[in-house]
Structure 1
Amino acid sequence: MTAMIGYLRVSTEEQASSGLGLDAQRESIQRYADAHDWNVVWYVDEGLSAKSLDRPQLQAALDRVHVIPKRRDVDGIVVAKLDRLSRSVHDFSGILKLAAARRWSVVAIDLGVDTSTPTGKLVANVMMSVAEWEREVIGERTSVAMQAAKRAGRHMGRVSMLPQATGERLLAIRVTNTLAGTAAQLNTEGLTTATGLPWTGNAVAKVQQRLSAH
């Protein structure tokens, strides 16, 4: 029998205390699991926002599914609604890429995403394509801006070469994450440094300092 992690999240302490938001999510997941003959192992983050993936129970769930397949005791993660898992297309795209690489399933019941099925994989691939398109559009706009600045005789340093959206994302993640955690999250989302390299904690610190000085 398939075993899935049922991930639940509410964003306020009031919702956590009342149990109303959690109960509705649990019921939706259990109903879906019963229809597919799944066992469910529950992971719950109470009173936490979805603005980043840095949540204790979500990280524990990701650690559990991200071991090699032969040692894995669960087959994936299921959520009642995508926004319980992530409100960022880039964050969700990163999770989907991790799942595909390690061959575990992601299920978001409200959107019909179920990567254990052909149709669910198609929906997931469309979402990842949208995320990639957004990154390419941002990169194209940055390139045009750099060329215009060059023609105007303005110097473009490495921080200036960094897409504005990447810089803003870095600062947003940094609010609730360590330097290393921020670097890991940026890499998970497929974002690179101005020179196209993976992020490190040291690189995050340098860019944060320069962006804050502007």
Structure 2
Amino acid sequence: MKAVLSTKAVAYLRVSTDEQASNGFGLETQERALRAFAESQSYDLVEIITDGGVSGATRPAERPGFAKVLELAELKAFSILLVYKFDRLAREIRYAVTTVADLAEQHDIGIRSVTEPIDTATPMGRTVFAILAGMAESERFTIRDRTAGGKLSKAGRGGFAGGRAPFGYETDLEGGLRIIPEEAAIVRRIFKERGPAARPKRTLRDIAAGLNADGIRSPTGKAWRHDGVGYVLDNPKYRGLVEYLFTWTGTEQHVLQPGTHAAII
């Protein structure tokens, strides 16, 4: 009778910085689930490899942790790769499907998710995985386009699409911008010292040096730099305008028009 060998497995964990902070499947949660699953399947868990703070948009082979997975695969050190969810491999279908196919064809390694009933060690499992991965990516693109469309619509109405309020403003309770008088005075000073009426016209470095000499902190709480002064001067929001530049449905969208907020200059 032929002896049955214990199946060797490697567990792969990944979490982005945002995921670690905002949801419940951080590295510790994933590791507990992977260890329990390996034990339930009588797998010999060779190693647990992690990529912490790494985006799923990064190619798997470019991550330090997954690069080690590939090294062990080359050495034939395991035959099953365990993941918490298949999106731990990659968010983009081309990366996820290619990774699954390469591990199967080049190293005879199957991938199992401890939370999804798909075993890529079988041809049918790989087919089902590719279909589900395509559906997941389609949904991600739909969400992205819906979000971008919302931003474009809001920009068209002159609204503030979100993010950090520029120096001199704060967000109000309705998602708009309102002026902070003390900071607005500093913004007006910068524009005045750089404006055509200034005699002599001051350089960005001169303006930054003057602000620092007067003990005025920059928006980051540090000393002013010439590029920080330049950023203020180039921001159309201070003139009461809104500007958006992003890509939506494959086309670069640029909006510059009067906003709904009050101008500082």
Q: TM-score, normalised by structure 2?
A: 0.42
| Distance in 2 (alpha carbons) for counterparts of 1:50 and 1:81 | 12
Counterpart in 2 of 1:63?
71
Counterpart in 2 of 1:75?
79
Residue by residue over 1:87-143, the C-alpha shift from the partner in whole angstroms, topping out at 9 and shown as x without a partner, is: 111111101211221211111222222233x5xx423213336779xxxxxxxxxxx
State percent identity of aligned pairs.
Answer: 26
In the alignment, is residue 27 of structure 1 matched against residue 32 of structure 2? Answer: yes
Counterpart in 2 of 1:96?
100
| Distance in 1 (alpha carbons) for counterparts of 2:19 and 2:103 | 32
| Structure 2, unaligned runs of 5 or more | 1-5, 135-265
Give yes or no for contact 1:112–1:123 (8 Å, CA) kept in 2: no
Moved over 4 A (4+): 129-132
- Which of 123, 126, 146 aligns to 2:125? It is 123
1:34-183 maps to which residues of 2 (within 5 A)? 34-40=39-45, 41-52=47-58, 53=60, 54-65=62-73, 67=74, 71-102=75-106, 103-116=108-121, 118=122, 121-128=123-130
Alpha carbons of structure 1 residues 29 and 129: separation in structure 2 relative to 1, 3 Å: same
| Distance in 2 (alpha carbons) for counterparts of 1:14 and 1:50 | 11
| Distance in 1 (alpha carbons) for counterparts of 2:68 and 2:48 | 11
| Structure 1, unaligned runs of 5 or more | 133-214
Residue by residue over 1:149-179, the C-alpha shift from the partner in whole angstroms, topping out at 9 and shown as x without a partner, is: xxxxxxxxxxxxxxxxxxxxxxxxxxxxxxx
Residue 7 of structure 1 aligns to a residue whose secondary structure is strand
The structure number with the bigger radius of gyration is 2
The structure whose RCO (Cα within 8 Å, separation 6+) is larger is 1
| Distance in 2 (alpha carbons) for counterparts of 1:26 and 1:58 | 16
Q: TM-score, normalised by structure 1?
A: 0.51
| Distance in 2 (alpha carbons) for counterparts of 1:28 and 1:21 | 11
Residue by residue over 1:38-57, the C-alpha shift from the partner in whole angstroms, topping out at 9 and shown as x without a partner, is: 12210011111110222101
> What value does the CA root-mean-square deviation take over the aligned residues?
2.8
